[in-house]
Amino acid sequence: MDNENKKDDKSINKNDKSEETSYQANSEDNSLSNVQRVKVLSPGMLVIKRFLRNRLAIIGFIIILFMFIFSFIGGFFSPYDETQVFKHIGTMSKEYVSLSLNEQYRYTSSDENIYNSNMHSKFILAKNKGETNFILDDIKYHISEEGKDFYSIFCLEPIAKITYFRNILSVNLHEGIEMPEEINNYIKTAIEQGETYFKYNSKIYVLDKDGRNYILESTQNVAFESLLIMEKATKDIEVTYEFKYFLRKALMDDEVSIFEYNGERYELIRDEYSISVNHIKPDGKEPYALASEFSIKSISQDVFLSIEFKKELIKTIMSGASSFVYPDEHGEDIEYNILRNNNMYTVKKLTNTHLISIHEQPSLKHWLGTDQHGMDVLTRLMYGGKISLVIGFIVVFLETIIGVVMGGIAGYFGKLTDMVIMRIVDVFNCIPFMPLLIIIGSVMDALDIDPKIRIYYLMLILGVMSWPGIARMVRGQILSLREQEFMIAAEATGLRISRRIFKHLIPNVIPQLIVLATLGLGGIIIYESTLSFLGLGVKFPYASWGNIISGVSTAYEMTNFWFVWIPAGMLILLTVLGFNFVGDGLRDAFDPKMKR
């Protein structure tokens, strides 16, 4: 019996110990669950848990994360630069030659210092009046008609004073002037026949009446006026004034086919619209000059036009054709197109040149094509997103700082301080925000502000103009918080006013500030994009999503170059939506009652 009782006691002790062990284990489990429960119920964890349960908030966070990676990191991996312009070799119709039918007199001068455009104007006036002399700068000039549409201009120099009375001629030479006696007979004959000039030894002398007497003047040929234009045949030939003068005189006789100048012989080949001049040499003939009523000039000074090209061009124009084919220096046939504007003609030539790759379609090289400046759209979107997001964050930071300071002071002190600050807020709210930004943008355009500095001005203006809303919210929150027990305790402990405001009051407003700032970021990006679209925000060559869209301003561009504006518009849309989703998620996480 004793043995059995001992066994029962031992079993009872074992049961007691097992119950005690299980109780201790249960108490330990309960203590761990309480720790976990405290951690879960902490304010920060509760906000995070509520935020993570909001699917739209998570989608918005992912969108914003992608935008940051795309904008701030994408530029480092892009093989192109923000302002890199892409070019390709292609054919382009370029202006090659200009041609006009000459209907006005043009002068050819022996010396531009002696006869110039001012004297040409004087010649036109004198000719229209039927006068044979004109004076400019106290120098007298004589007009001699050599033939049809051909006039020689002589500079006159007085050499003698002549008296002629009753068949008696008296010649008083000026000092230093000598003349042969036989010239007196020419003078006398000219006076008796009423001539105003005569020739002696191939030189012209002019008799200018001075009362009853005459002034004998010698002449120096300084220019000639003609409707014909004479141009040299090759670049290396120097066609002198004297040659042009002799050529023009030779062209007066339609039967002359060969003339001589300085012992050299020249051949005239006439066709319907021009006259070619060949230099006759012992070993053959060499093109020397061309005379026509057409003024032909190449657009580029490096290009010299041959006589054959000019003749073919004149022939084509006079036949009424709009194009012709002529071989270049390599023998390759080139087509030239002729455009007419009254008596002016422009000749265009298809040439290979470096062209900017404007509005190039998406390809493996450019995933989103190129814009109107020939720049890679995808790269510009990366750099543009960086500027747009930086502007948004800096503006929100500025408006938050100003709004917190002004709202905190107004809410805490109240009375007169509150009234003054709130009236300032009312003034800012009465200012038309967008028209003011447009005006300031126009002023910066007029002042020609550097595009890089303009970005900082834009951020400053947006930040200064956007703080009143935050100030109102902070003021309202502080008005209710300053009467709480913890603020009465802080005041009783003797804390400074600035410490009470910024250490105890403002931290209690931070959740609302975070929500407002997040929601405001989207609005700032919209404002920046709008200003850049209007040409008043970020300026070229710097990119922003707004000025990328502004490059497409016509219906044709919108329908044909969708790859320029649709991606930028989608990035703006997604970014604003992302910030709004995150803002809504934070609002619901901080104050779940609002969601109910």
Write out the chain's pLDDT in tens, 596 residues: 444 444 445 444 545 545 444 444 444 444 445 444 444 456 667 778 888 888 888 999 999 999 999 999 988 888 898 889 998 887 778 888 998 888 889 888 887 777 888 888 989 999 888 888 888 888 888 888 888 889 988 888 888 888 888 788 888 888 878 888 888 888 888 888 888 888 888 788 888 888 878 888 888 888 999 988 888 888 888 888 888 888 888 888 888 888 888 888 999 988 888 888 999 988 888 888 888 888 888 888 888 888 888 888 888 988 888 888 888 877 888 888 999 888 889 999 877 778 888 888 899 999 999 998 899 999 999 998 888 888 888 888 898 889 888 888 888 888 898 899 999 988 988 888 778 878 887 888 888 888 778 888 888 888 888 888 888 888 888 887 777 777 777 777 777 777 777 777 777 787 788 888 887 888 888 877 877 777 777 888 888 888 888 878 778 888 888 888 899 889 988 988 988 888 888 878 876 554 44
- Asked if residue 493 and residue 572 are part of one domain, the reply reads yes
- Asked if residue 491 and residue 407 are part of one domain, the reply reads yes
Residues with Cβ within 8 Å of residue 552, at least 6 apart in sequence: 372, 558, 561, 564, 565
Give the 3-state DSSP-derived string for 453-468, with helices as H, strands as E and coil as C.
Answer: HHHHHHHHHHHHHCCH
**Residue 9 placed within a domain:** no
**Residue 38 placed within a domain:** no
Of 304, 320, 355, the residue that ends a domain is 355
- Asked if residue 331 and residue 236 are part of one domain, the reply reads yes
Contact (CB, 8 A) for 478 and 507: no
Contact (CB, 8 A) for 196 and 132: yes
Number of domains in the chain: 3
Q: How far apart are CA 68 and CA 59, in angstroms?
A: 14
**Residue 50 placed within a domain:** no
Chain centroid to CA 299? 24
Distances (CA, A) of 573 to 64, 502, 526, 566: 12, 36, 9, 10
* Structure-block tokens of residue 258: 């060969």
- Asked if residue 389 and residue 507 are part of one domain, the reply reads yes
Q: Is 17 helix (H, G, I), strand (E, B) or coil?
A: helix
Of 223, 245, 264, the residue that ends a domain is 223
Q: How far apart are CA 579 and CA 576, in angstroms?
A: 5
* Structure-block tokens of residue 229: 């234009």
* Structure-block tokens of residue 591: 């104050």
- Asked if residue 591 and residue 446 are part of one domain, the reply reads yes
Q: How far apart are CA 563 and CA 541, in angstroms?
A: 19
- Asked if residue 283 and residue 252 are part of one domain, the reply reads yes
Region at 309 (left for phi over 0; alpha for psi -120 to 50; beta for the rest): alpha
- Asked if residue 233 and residue 191 are part of one domain, the reply reads no
- Asked if residue 571 and residue 424 are part of one domain, the reply reads yes
**Residue 30 placed within a domain:** no
pLDDT tens per residue across span 92-101:
788 889 988 8
**Residue 36 placed within a domain:** no
Of 304, 328, 355, the residue that ends a domain is 355
- Asked if residue 385 and residue 327 are part of one domain, the reply reads no
Q: How far apart are CA 372 and CA 355, in angstroms?
A: 12
- Asked if residue 286 and residue 212 are part of one domain, the reply reads no
| Exposure string over 16-27, b if 16+ CB within 10 A, otherwise e | eeeeeeeeeeee
**Residue 16 placed within a domain:** no
The domain of 517 spans: 56-73+366-595
- Asked if residue 127 and residue 63 are part of one domain, the reply reads no
**Residue 91 placed within a domain:** no
CATH of the domain at 476: 1.10.3720.10
- Asked if residue 141 and residue 62 are part of one domain, the reply reads no
pLDDT tens per residue across span 519-556:
788 888 887 787 777 777 788 888 888 888 887 877 88
**Residue 48 placed within a domain:** no
